[in-house]
Structure 1
């Protein structure tokens, strides 16, 4: 079977209106052409003040293996860092170094990567025509994003050009570059209130956020919208629809631009095959801000989608496909995750809560094999191997959250199922970073049908945040547990850990089993400390420990009893010969390590063993004392040898 083509999208903040719109275009075209879509998305904005958190988010862009993908789309707008291009530059350099497949930029240019510009020029011109031809306004102010921002400059220049075509001159004081956020509109509104900018008849804004900020500041100071001045937005955002004075706005044609990106790649990866163009017709979404009859149904939906429902209608058959932030929070997900007592409980609880991110075909939680070990934390890239620790599905029988069924795979595959071609229909795979602060733990993969119009939203982003915190809490608990049962210097069990583990061994023992104890005590530690320093004494202790670990069986435990004394303890099929054999094995192991170390002093240890029938009420200390006696006999014999 010929492998299905796979298109990658690099983006961030998929929950935004822009993110949803481009997914409509991408999924529609991929569905037509039988392409899989792999979306590598940072879930938060990349200009957040939490730099370490941003570092953890953007590491997801180090995951794609471009050799296994057929084309790449870079969604440039959400990857901008405020006014700068730092993150885009990093992605550009990565693509230049690692990607030999066709790459296309969406919406805004990124160096020499081919650009599919947005198809919104006609929409921008229609906004101006609405102001002039429908409302008869001629004293028009246009405001947009920063001058050095491609979209900011393009939108303002298009507005001005259309006004001039309609015979309206726009003075410099009405051509205002700001930013694309509420604060920009609010500042311009205050300038109008203060008379620094003469109040126009109409203001055409570069997006809805500017419009909301402007309306807020004007109305707060007694200037009525739309009676005194009409305001037009752009992008038809939910925030604009749900604002007190709903913003009249036009839909953005992002879906068409995104679809054109897929068509561009198709011409290069499947030359000669038909192109089926995407069609859409953006339209006015009337609000209160321009004086038209508002679309109240749209405003009500926007408000509904942002409400926090504490008592949702659980009888609603569609509720599982429309989980809102209220249902997420009222699920007590944070409390349940935090209450996880063990690593296994944590992974299990995460998987059980995946119903909160329905709908999906499959969900995969992929973590580093050593994600619990803080000594191996990484901030950039991923290890060669990853482990699928949990799977939930709605389409097949593969479901697990236990270590027994976990799947280790080459990270280069990203997710094995992406390449098995078992799915009859193409899918979209959302890859989201799993991390705590800047420390990468792994990633989650959400597989959905291309027909599914749900995109990662506010619920998914916060669900992932809860998962991140839960995994870090599990790591913290494990560290505390390790500190309570392990020796920090050697990693061996301490006495507390010894009693806990031996109790488990005795509970699982069989009739006829014996308890085996081997006591190891380093020779002449004081001599090494006094003559070579305590750091060399510590080296000797670690060498003895390493030799002890080397001869400890997989069903046995290795214990640092204190100072330079260690135990090997096991419960099972041991005989009188077991002790003699173990002493020989240890002597060989420590001799090998000593020879390798080439120290000016010998590193040796005396060893004694003891054996007793396994019983749940066995006196372990008595058995250790018996092994201790044999150990001291061997130590005394060595002293006699040295003297003689």
Structure 2
């Protein structure tokens, strides 16, 4: 039985703070029997950018029925509009949601519990350190934005410590900044210029502002800590890049993550949650205050930084981007990115999940996806699953602890996502984000390259005719429909054919096969209509016919379907599941109304086929089905001669679940389908048709045809005669 999934929603997954939280959550989830999925952006923009809004669609995965609970990293979203968009999505969630970090205003409407460290207490203790250990009384406080509540919470801790020690609190010694290095640089510049006296110590509400101070003081020759002590709250992994190394209070984010996972476990299982006690931080000693530096901690940070630097250098000299711009098909594309997975650290496995129609700009990306492992030493064959199916990858990678989903997109078009699995509470770094940007750009190159090739071969230049097929284009079809004769004995029907329902390879060779399939379909459409009816190609994958017959709508759509089975160019490329037909009676409906009806029915057929494709044995079964419909005369042999000997019974039971018909009955249907084609499209005698369909006794053929179709063969033929 698959493990329940806990989803993490974060603006960034490889930030130092986020990675510490994730380690705690993933480890606790493993202990409680959960798997973890992480949904994150690539860019996590600081300012609004319409070109990057598409990446937020990755958070739609929270709607998956596989998700049992959601943990939101509130502070990871740095742009206000992004926070509003994520909040809007989470309002529709039907599972428990917990926040970690500051309770930001954009998330207030969610009314969710938010767990955080006690900023007031920890800033108070950090101020205590400056007063009790070093005897400082002249202390400046550099905090964040004035309009952000957390800035004031951290000032409150500073104020409480001063008052408790009998030191006057002076609001003029509190400077509001922006939580970034620029704030520290600005304050340092004002101190260097003498606009305010240099204090004994400066307390920063986060590390980055302290880094700005250290940089400017170092450039100006002001000795830290000899002339001024600088300490900060939070702790990040960039201390070794500044001189001297920063002393700071490290928030225990890992414990905070574990606490959130415990709370979520209790919510899901219906247990009473333990009272949340904010985890206490700890001092990390650098050389920016008079205390001795923790040399071992600094060596660990330097080693980690050196490893990251090595991967950055490898990424810098990689030829992946260049090779991706030259590749010509998806097989080569997968091979190239697979050759460069060495750039990603410690992954267990990686899967590229693309929408079935990712390359088609005219479609809405949702639903069925084509997924494949990209590791070259693993099976890289395609398998299909629903976009919101998040359990399949864990089933394929038993033992994986976490799966990260990151968007693959270009402009306002989402292609799909990249899924990266890890065995341990681990995650990716900046190199992966740059790597994935290259993958996205490479996919867009490939799409445009093949789309241009296809458009050049299929462009329409006639006012009323489709140049590729010679049939009407949509304008010509509307014109012919308006001029049709109503004074006929038989009824008019609108028959629609939709090709390429599911994804097909993208390469120049496959584009050629796709064009051949279109031409084959247009040939069948011409035969289906005859000389007195008319048809057109209304879209690059859609044909519409207007025909007069005595047959019913269902019989007409069925006939067009079986006629396409006999066109080798179509069936070899599309198979039996790559197209759908439907028909409606015209009556008094307008042209647009009829096409809308047909579109709705085609969509319903597509959804039914899409559900069938979720069967784990679908690829094997559809190959068998394609075989029996291409050569139905073979079906008179024993079933064992067609079904794999070692899986005959398994495939029999799966066949009916997948296609809604037993294998034996489908063999009969395939033979009758071939007979329908010969009856409607040729003048062959019944005995000849019987023989072509593999029957040795033409009377038995006629009995079986009547039993399946509900009418004798000759009566069926009369329905389609003019």
- Normalization by structure 1: what TM-score? 0.71
Work out the CA distance in 1 between the residues paired with 2:154 and 2:74: 16
Partner of 1:256: 255
Higher relative contact order (CA 8 A, sep 6+): 1
Of residues 82, 85, 90, the one that matches 1:90 is 85
Partner of 1:33: 32
Partner of 2:419: 445
Give deviations 1:362-384, integer Å, cap 9, x for gaps: 211111111111233x5xxx512
Work out the CA distance in 1 between the residues paired with 2:307 and 2:455: 42
Work out the CA distance in 2 between the residues paired with 1:34 and 1:259: 14
Partner of 2:385: 409
Shift of 1:453: 4.3
Partner of 1:456: 428
Aligned residues: 518
Question: Are 2:122 and 2:157, in contact at CA under 8 Å, matched by a contact in 1?
Answer: no
Partner of 1:388: 371
Within the alignment, does 1:326 sit opposite 2:300 as a pair? no
Question: Are 1:66 and 1:101, in contact at CA under 8 Å, matched by a contact in 2?
Answer: no
Partner of 2:95: 101
Partner of 2:189: 190
Indicate the SS of the match to 2:328: coil
CA separation of 1:307/1:162 partners in 2, compared to 1, >3 Å: closer, same or farther?
A: same
Work out the CA distance in 2 between the residues paired with 1:553 and 1:41: 32
CA separation of 1:259/1:217 partners in 2, compared to 1, >3 Å: closer, same or farther?
A: same
Partner of 2:167: 168
Give deviations 1:40-69, integer Å, cap 9, x for gaps: 11132232454312x122221112225322
Of residues 408, 411, 422, the one that matches 1:434 is 408
Work out the CA distance in 1 between the residues paired with 2:121 and 2:360: 55
Partner of 1:638: none
Indicate the SS of the match to 1:351: helix
CA separation of 1:273/1:30 partners in 2, compared to 1, >3 Å: closer, same or farther?
A: farther
Work out the CA distance in 1 between the residues paired with 2:3 and 2:241: 42
Partner of 1:72: 70
Work out the CA distance in 2 between the residues paired with 1:70 and 1:580: 50
CA separation of 1:136/1:486 partners in 2, compared to 1, >3 Å: closer, same or farther?
A: same
Give deviations 1:334-361, integer Å, cap 9, x for gaps: 1222221223211222233223224223
Partner of 1:227: 226
Shift of 1:307: 5.3
Work out the CA distance in 2 between the residues paired with 1:135 and 1:411: 58
Partner of 2:674: none
Work out the CA distance in 2 between the residues paired with 1:444 and 1:278: 36
CA separation of 1:580/1:230 partners in 2, compared to 1, >3 Å: closer, same or farther?
A: closer
CA separation of 1:373/1:586 partners in 2, compared to 1, >3 Å: closer, same or farther?
A: farther
Work out the CA distance in 1 between the residues paired with 2:441 and 2:367: 24
Partner of 2:489: none
Within the alignment, does 1:482 sit opposite 2:458 as a pair? no
Structure 1: gaps (5+ residues): 313-323, 499-518, 523-533, 561-566, 571-578, 600-644
Question: Are 1:557 and 1:569, in contact at CA under 8 Å, matched by a contact in 2?
Answer: no
- Normalization by structure 2: what TM-score? 0.64
Structure 2: gaps (5+ residues): 483-493, 502-509, 536-544, 549-585, 592-722
Partner of 2:129: 130
Indicate the SS of the match to 1:587: coil
CA separation of 1:541/1:220 partners in 2, compared to 1, >3 Å: closer, same or farther?
A: farther
Work out the CA distance in 1 between the residues paired with 2:256 and 2:47: 27
Indicate the SS of the match to 2:257: helix
Q: Which has the higher helix share?
A: 2
Indicate the SS of the match to 1:105: strand
Shift of 1:139: 0.3
Within the alignment, does 1:468 sit opposite 2:444 as a pair? no
